[in-house]
Structure 1
């Protein structure tokens, strides 16, 4: 398996971990935020949570990015909060995708979101993110890590667990 989605609520570290993990695995990272239509970014910037109808076209773009030919592992950062979203991505890819869930407490993630600069997602949307979150089920190809550790430790844990599962 060489297609991965770095998933989690806003502020969980998808971009930072995705970039580091791509380097560790010798792959490439694509930030799913860059795939959002301008209307989605404007809506979130106003503090309005996205609806499923807002997300479907974006999830199709995430799936398309993952389905594109790539040399080595390809990782895309995407919240992928609901099972239906992950199913949509898998359908677009037409192949196996492993979801790497960055899990953490609301307090930790809020503190991280409050300290980041220049991102369109306000902390006021964090509750809606946690309300929508459906962690990957036992029947989904996934790895969950606790983000209450350094970025280097998270990347190392993910790389080890991916290698153990994928071989």
Structure 2
């Protein structure tokens, strides 16, 4: 991405599997965790929940099968224009603004039966944090 080349599934899948392993380790230690990443596709979110086993079925494991992690996905939703303006103000970030279109082209917003909330990035940062905290603590 730093070179202006969008990542593809082949680039992302090993990284997502590694993130799943980290989340699994935190769960086994009875630790809560917050992970920030752009899980743009449903398949990517399935990998975070179920690890490499999601690659066979493209679906998370059944809740009773002991392999699926309980993850609340937070979809930070905003218009392309708003996000582009914010990207233009960033300095020293690995993702150049020119890749924004590829991110939106790849995006598959979460939907049922995924465990998610959608939060508008037009809100202030404190409002966004409060909305996420309410969702976490109401589970």
TM-score with structure 1 length normalisation? 0.69
Partner SS state of residue 94, structure 1: coil
Which residue of 2 is the match for residue 154 of structure 1? 128
Q: What CA distance in whole angstroms lies between the structure 2 residues aligned with 1:101 and 1:48?
A: 24
CA–CA distance in structure 1, aligned partners of residues 8 and 14 of structure 2: 11
Do structure 1's residue 98 and structure 2's residue 77 form an aligned pair? no
Partner of 1:60: 17
How many Å separate the matches in 2 of 1:82 and 1:65?
20
The count of residues paired between Structure 1 and Structure 2 equals 122
Mind listing any 5+ residue stretches in structure 2 that lack a counterpart?
52-66
Q: Which has the higher contact order (CA 8 A, sep 6+)?
A: 1
Instruction: Give unpaired runs (5+ residues) of structure 1.
Output: 1-43
Q: Compute the displacement of 1:97 (Å).
A: 1.2
Q: Which 4+ residue blocks in structure 1 deviate beyond 6 angstroms?
A: none
Larger radius of gyration: 2
CA distances 1:57-83 after superposition (whole Å, capped 9, x unpaired): 111121122112355420111100000
Counterpart Cα distance in 2 of 1:158 and 1:98: 10
Q: Distance in 2 between matches of 1:122 and 1:154?
A: 24
Question: Scaled by the length of structure 2, what TM-score is found?
Answer: 0.82
Structure with greater strand share of residues: 1
